[in-house]
Amino acid sequence: MSPATPRPRALRPEQVLRLGGLHVLADDDPRWKYDPLEQAAAACAGGAHVVQLRVKSATDRQALLWAERIRGLTRASGALFFVNDRFDLALAAEADGVHLGQTDLPPGRIPAAARQRLLLGHSTHTRAQVEAACGEPVDYLAFGPVFGTRSKQSEYDARGIDALAQMVALAAPLPLVAIGGIDAAGAAAVANAGAGAAVISAVAADDDPTRATRALVAALRRGPA
């Protein structure tokens, strides 16, 4: 990271560990059996390290209501809480951070006052994007799709574990989480590559999302100490 683009704030060791762990995205896609609040509650009960609210269909008012309720759940469980895409909603809900995609505002354009309050995550899909993100004021990266994705459309092919391991090394010391098609079986391979994992359908589509979260956390623990 360039000295000209400092991180919003120094990270505590426990924050680094959580950012490199299991991220469960509480998603408002109507195909899921459970709404985002229920998904988030299950994720917290199952030991997720980060819960991220992903809203693509609901109104801003509904999104803020979910965010405020999820903020309470994550405070109780000790998880970090992020909002996908929207730093304004993240600020309004007193979230820990905002996660930005390649088509969202660039991390460097988030207002300085907001960066002082919010951790920043950034999705990447190519080596060039990872290299660029390492020069931005971010606190962790996501990379993928590693195995493909069943939860949302992607213009990128599956990257695979070898590419993931290379991006982990390239991004270091920033934590990096894998995205795309990760289930409990794939989470152990992801951990062995040195990455955390971000999931949607592996929790949202499961009949028992708390159990699914626990299985993912356990699989990630089977990676390198």
Percentage above 90 pLDDT, the chain: 88
Query: At which residue do the structure tokens 């199952």 appear?
Result: 46
Contacts of 198 (CB under 8 A, 6+ apart): 22, 23, 24, 25, 50, 52, 142, 177, 178, 179, 182
pLDDT at 3: 40
Q: How confident is the model at residue 222 (pLDDT cuts 50, 70, 90)?
A: confident
Domain positions in the chain are 13-221
pLDDT at 119: 98
| 150 pLDDT more than 70 | no
Q: What is the pLDDT of residues 162-186, one digit of tens each?
A: 999 999 999 999 999 999 999 999 9
Single pTM value for the model: 0.93
Count the residues in the chain. 225
| Maximum Cα–Cα distance across the chain | 47
Q: What is the pLDDT of residues 17-43, one digit of tens each?
A: 999 999 999 999 999 999 999 999 999
| 108 pLDDT more than 50 | yes
Query: At which residue do the structure tokens 């079986």 appear?
Result: 185
CA 206, CA 136: separation in Å to the nearest integer?
A: 36
Lowest-confidence region among 117-121, 143-147, 220-224: 220-224
Assigned superfamily of 13-221: Aldolase class I (3.20.20.70)
Helix 209-221 and helix 36-45: axis angle, to 10°?
50
pLDDT at 225: 41
